[in-house]
Amino acid sequence: MAADLYHPWNEYVKPFKIIDNLYFVGNVASSSHLIDTGEGLVLIDTGYPQTLYMLIESIWELGFDVRDIKHIIHSHGHYDHLGATKALVELCGAKTWLGTQDAPYADGRQKLMTWASKLGYEYHETFEPDFLIKDGDVFNLGNVSIKMLNTPGHTPGTISFFFDMPHQNKTLTVGLHGGVGTNSMEKSFLDEYGLDTSCWQNFFDGIKRLKKIHVDVFIGNHTWNNDTVGKSKRITADYNPFIDSAAWPRFLESRKLELEKVMAAEQ
């Protein structure tokens, strides 16, 4: 994706409610999710700087005020997930969260590792995360409690999130894997940046760990993870395709198999 060929408006996705107080406000290229905690808004991932205007518009379309965003939590440190954070923080004053091992991506110490240059951009809008997430940390605000687990591989500081949400007299568990792309685990990428293949086993270990967690509502940090756009069009008063406890283990297994293919090709 060259910068001079990228037209953000082609990535627009109409914002929508997934369940109850959980909303999709991202775009085709990178997902963003908004949670209304009753005591302020929490945003998971901000996307590209080039798509910030669509993120803001999506939040307004749903009837929320971007100035009510109290916290921005990042799944990992790549450009398409934190590129718009600095500008958004200047607008709303939110506190930022990022996995400890990915802090050098955000603050500019490892600009090349953000993947910005691979996408045809430069990462200029660096920031210092207010909170560095450690494995097992729990974020609390209002009626929402988010458990954060370090699941490295895609990046060293990739964080996966789990939280409960009441729905029609039941409690559903929402889950998001913080990063499953094998692009940053390919041997050519690892060699280019002086990294080793230990990320492969780290990724497998994370998949094994997350398979033990029951998830009713699987959300992705990219729309392709869970067919976000397609599912949004199938929601009716009586049916919500996002509520599917089989989707989570199926997705995790598919990503395990995908990395195994990459490893086999490398060897």
Find, among 33, 19, 32, the residue nearest to 173 by Cα. Answer: 19
CATH of the domain at 226: 3.60.15.10
Residue pair 81/74 in contact by the 8 Å Cβ criterion: yes
Paired sense of beta strands 33-36 and 41-44, if any:
antiparallel
Residue 2 has pLDDT above 70, yes or no: no
Can you give the pLDDT at residue 5?
55
**pLDDT, average across residues 233-254:** 97
d(CA 164, CA 175): 9
Would you state the pLDDT for residue 110? 93
Domain that holds residue 37: 3-266
Helices first, then strands: H and E counts in the chain: 9, 12
Give the rounded distance of the alpha carbon of 28 from its chain centre.
13
Residues 83-125: pLDDT tens digits?
A: 999 999 999 999 999 999 999 999 999 988 999 998 889 999 9
Please, where are the H alpha helices in 36-84?
52-61, 79-82
pTM of the predicted model as reported, rounded to 2 decimal places? 0.96
pLDDT digits (tens, 9 = 90+) for 45-62: 999 999 999 999 999 999
Q: Tens of pLDDT along 180-195?
A: 999 999 999 999 999 9
For residue 177, give the amino acid letter: H
Q: In angstroms, rounded to a whole number, what is the distance separating the alpha carbons of residues 89 and 177?
A: 24
CA torsion through residues 217, 149, 177, 201, sign: negative
Is residue 43 within 8 A of residue 56, CB to CB? The reply is no
In this model, does residue 209 exceed pLDDT 80?
yes
Residue 3's pLDDT band (cuts 50, 70, 90): very low
Q: Which tokens belong to 144?
A: 């929402």
Q: 50: Cβ–Cβ under 8 A, 6 or more apart, which residues?
A: 6, 8, 83
pLDDT digits (tens, 9 = 90+) for 14-42: 999 999 999 999 999 999 999 999 999 99
| Rounded alpha-carbon distances, angstroms, from residue 60 to 29, 128, 169, 254 | 20, 27, 29, 35
Strand 95-99 relative to strand 131-133, pairing? parallel
Residue 9 has a pLDDT of 87
The structural domain count of the chain equals: 1
| CA–CA distances in Å: residue 191 to residues 97, 113, 140, 185, 195 | 29, 13, 39, 10, 6
Segment 238-265 shows an average pLDDT of 97
Q: How far apart are the first and last CA of the chain?
A: 28
- Is the pLDDT confidence value at 1 over 60? no
